[in-house]
Structure 1
Amino acid sequence: MAKEITAQDIAGYKEATAKTPKSSALQNTVMKNGILASSENMASQVAMDPVFSVEIDTGSVANQKQSGRCWMFAALNTMRHPIQAQYKLKGFELSQNYTNFWDKFEKSNWFYENVLATADLPLGDRKVDFLMATPQQDGGQWDMLMALIEKYGVVPQSVMPETYNSSKSSELNNTLNLKLRGDAVKLREMVANKASEADIAAAKSKMLSEVYRILVYSLGNPPTKFDWEYKNDDKEYTYDRDLTPQTFFRKYVGWNTPDYISIINSPTDDKPYKHVYTVEFLGNVVGGRQVRHLNLDIDTFKALAVKQLQAGETVWFGSDVGKSSERQKGIMDTDFYNVDGLFDVDLTMTKAQRLDYGESLMTHAMVLTGVDLVDGKPTKWKVENSWGDKVGDKGYFVMSDKWFDQFVYQVVINKKFLPADLKQAFESEFDKPKVLAPWDPMGALAL
């Protein structure tokens, strides 16, 4: 039976608060300075000294500005790092706007196809509600960018630079989502009225043509062929003619994209380790690469990241950046704030509990560019962010190993670094991953 809060209860709570040691002083500092500032731990700042035994020089950071394209920036950063070093191109960037254009175009088609696939479900059904909540957005995951690159390639940023709408995406997202929801009404009505497949296909094609026009006006025309000229750091001039985005990727990036796979650490009961998972409705390119996650225990998860860094390759990773994180100082550490001690309450939850109860999920993607090893064990990690150089140490953050344990959920590893048993585990379930619900936390999009 439900029990209401009585006046007697409140009197007891008031008395208990008044009797808490230093209650008045703590109340004053929290009211004046806020919870986080009042609970800062200076020892954490000392411990997070940005010195690393393994470190890859990656140059200046990029800036996603007022957009949610961190997953895209982080992935393209891992690709530009070798180009910068090999071709002596300090500050070189791949075009995030180019991949952004095709992502939004493909996500629109993905949405239309899922609307048609669920058209027999009533409004109010959880899956329909999930689709309509956000028809498309800036966020994404590693496999989604690989799907775009495998189909469309990449170009230098100078070939398709940023626009107002790529750097400040809210107007475009609002416009596009309004259109997509309106189109969903039309598509569902056509299915309900038994329209022919040909008529539905024609209607969808017209809708995509309109989406394309919105994107061209907002983001520019994506190039199909281009010339690239540059001077390297030694002032040597190069002019490369008649490139396509696909030939540029093969020549200058040169990755075999299927070699890079998503590894997750989700210690929840529904996801046994050494198995492969995908998420319903998660993706962007119809007919393209499927999102697949190999779930591993945290020690193996971290060891693979260390191994790749030691080999000189940076590591894309996804985490819950807002937890125990100080943006201006560029510190991510579970000891940075002592909120428990400030309020004298227990705020602890396990990583699995936070996932299961909606307290945490992946929100942001960045790049690991270094690690500090003491007696072979990581103590802190160097992180390249995409928030510009006005935060952290010129845009770089320091992450404690304890923070990694609790709030890093995904890393991307080249399969060559996996031991034979893990490679076999991934390949044996590649075509038959377990399908998770659309709202599973491992389907969260990094922004």
Structure 2
Amino acid sequence: MKNELSKEMIDNLRRRVEEQHEVPVVQRAVIKNGVYNASENDKVRSKLNRTFSIELDTGKVSNQRHSGRCWIFSTMNILRHHFSNQYEVKDFEFSQAYIYFWDKIERANMFYQRIIDLADRELEDRELQFYLNSPNSDGGQWAMAAAIVQKYGVVPNDVMPETFNTKDTTGFANALNLKLRRDAIQLRQMKHRGASEAELQAERELLLGQVYQMTTIAVGTPPESFDFEYKDDNQKYHIDRNITPLEFYDKYVGVDLDDYVVVTNSPDKPFNQLYSLPSQDNVIGGKEITFLNLPIQNLKELAVDQLKDGESIWFGNDVLEQMNRKDGLLDSELYKQDELFGVALDMTKAERMLYRQANVSHAMTLTGVDLIDGKTSKWKVENSWGEQNGDKGYFVMADNWFDDYVYEIVIQRKFLTKEQLEIADSTPTPLKAWDALA
């Protein structure tokens, strides 16, 4: 058979390795210590000290536990920083479970509509397969959290606290995805049999009621109103009775989420253009996901401006690359795997995105930056993995890691130039569901 891996070829491969006398030494080190420990660059730690020329006081970190809700946690971090500064409640926390609940309901509603809209396509259709592969995942974008907040408001964490199923979403996610895929069969069959639009929408509402029931059982019942009771850092007591989640947001947070732009660095596509990602919108009629695509240096300049103004920054990144979780280190030169294995492993950022090596796998919060002679050298990062990682939950990120693995930052409109605002307000170019930014 053509190109079959023959014994002769295998013998040649073995012989080439045996001729490299350094391989046994490296082999012993890697087998005993693992790839990361054996390839760690000891020079990185010395430059990643935890002193920052600009640093926000943001209190204790949160903990998303065994869930993919980082995008919710980072959004709630930004909002609680606003609240904490205004009302002097340093370690206040909003309910991530509340946002998670409504995202499950809204995302199920969106899924049903997409299934109905695409019912005439073959099952092998790439877009349809994208939705069926992950009907209601944990992951998300900043605009998705913003859409939920704009429609449902927020509540304090003690009003709707974490549950077993928010701390570990595995069991509920499996049950919900099974339910949604089964419902997809039913809706497609109804459409194929010629069901009317009214019949399809009636069935959709029935199915959505079942999703609401499942989510209520697993996560809890979201409050329609509550009493807001707290003590500030000066131990002064406050209470505000019978307030709704939207009233609470307007009164105590008041951040206009439409006053922000998601600025991205996606060098696999043209810069200075606006893109949208309709395949990941989660609220019908709600905030849409858009990206203002700019060169990386623009992202850094915008981030510095916002930190100088005293506001933290939501950012999307690929935290699984060049990261030491225990010590909270992020540096593009942290692990020298190319030197360890003696092979070339370099790719440009655009190449990583085009060839599926890149992944916007996580969202965190920028809370500081170190400027040396006016240039960024390292960044302070608030993570949502609890206090046991990094320095009480805070990571330090080298500037080269920002270049290579930061893809999105959320910036106030007032920091954008006139030209950038014009692009941000233009008609976006829709991206495919399988774009790297998804």
> Under TM normalisation by the shorter chain, which class is it?
over 0.9
Partner of 2:166: 166
Residue 2 of structure 1 and its aligned partner are, at CA, apart by 4.8
Gap regions ≥5 residues in structure 1 = none
Alpha-carbon separation, structure 2, partners of 1:146 and 1:224:
19
- Residue matched to 1:266: 266
Structure 1: which amino acid aligns with 2:415? F
Give the letter aligned to residue 279 of structure 1: L
1:196 aligns with 2:196: yes
Q: How does 1:43-442 map to 2 (within 5 A)?
A: 43-268=43-268, 271-427=269-425, 429=426, 432-442=427-437
Which residues of structure 2 form unaligned runs of 5+? none
Alignment: residue pair count: 438
Relative distance call for 1:246 and 1:371 in structure 2 (3 A) is same
In the aligned structure 2, how far is the partner of 1:54 from the partner of 1:90? 19
SS in 2 for 1:247: helix
Deviation, structure 1 residue 84: 1.6
My pick for the range that moved more, 193-202 or 82-91, is 82-91
Measured against aligned partners, the alpha-carbon deviations of 1:173-193 in whole angstroms (never above 9, x if no partner) come to 111111111111110011000
Q: 3-state DSSP class of the match of 1:441?
A: coil
Question: Between the two proteins, what is the percent identity of the paired residues?
Answer: 45
Which SS does the other structure have where 1:110 is aligned?
Answer: helix
The code of the aligned residue for 1:350 comes to T
* Mapped contact 2:278–2:288 kept (Cα < 8 A): no
Output the amino acid matched with 1:147: A
Residues 21 and 301 of structure 1: CA distance in aligned 2, closer, same or farther (over 3 Å): farther
Give the alignment's Cα RMSD to 1 decimal: 1.2
Q: Following TM superposition, by how much is the alpha carbon of 1:352 offset from its aligned partner in structure 2, in angstroms?
A: 0.2
Give the AA of the match of 1:401: D
TM-score (norm 2): 0.98
Q: 1:98·1:222 contact (CA, 8 Å) conserved in 2?
A: yes
Shift of 1:90: 2.6
- Deviation of the 1:33 alpha carbon: 1.1
Shift of 1:260: 1.0
Deviations 1:180-229 (A, max 9, x none): 11111110011000011111111111111111111111111111111111
Aligned match of 1:15 = 15
**In the alignment, is the contact (CA less than 8 A) between 2:74 and 2:364 conserved in 1?**
yes
Note closer, same or farther for the CA distance 1:365–1:190 as it changes in structure 2 (3 Å cut): same
Cα drift, residue 5 of structure 1: 3.0
Q: Contact (CA 8 Å) 1:114, 1:281: kept in 2 or not? A: no
C-alpha deviations, 1:59-111, integer Å up to 9, x for none?
Answer: 10000001110000001001101212222213210010111100000000000
Counterparts of 2:235 and 2:334, CA distance in 1: 45
TM-score, normalising length: structure 1: 0.96
Shift, 1:15, TM fit: 2.8
Using the TM superposition, give the Cα deviation of residue 21 of structure 1 relative to its aligned residue in structure 2, in angstroms: 4.6
- SS of corresponding position for 2:288: coil
Task: Name the SS for the 1:212 alignment partner.
Answer: helix
Task: Give the AA of the match of 2:428.
Answer: P
Partners of 1:61 and 1:110 in 2: how far apart? 32
Greater Cα shift, 20-29 or 308-317: 20-29
Question: Which segment drifts farther, 198-207 or 351-360?
Answer: 198-207
The CA distance in 2 between the partners of 1:122 and 1:3, in whole Å, is 35
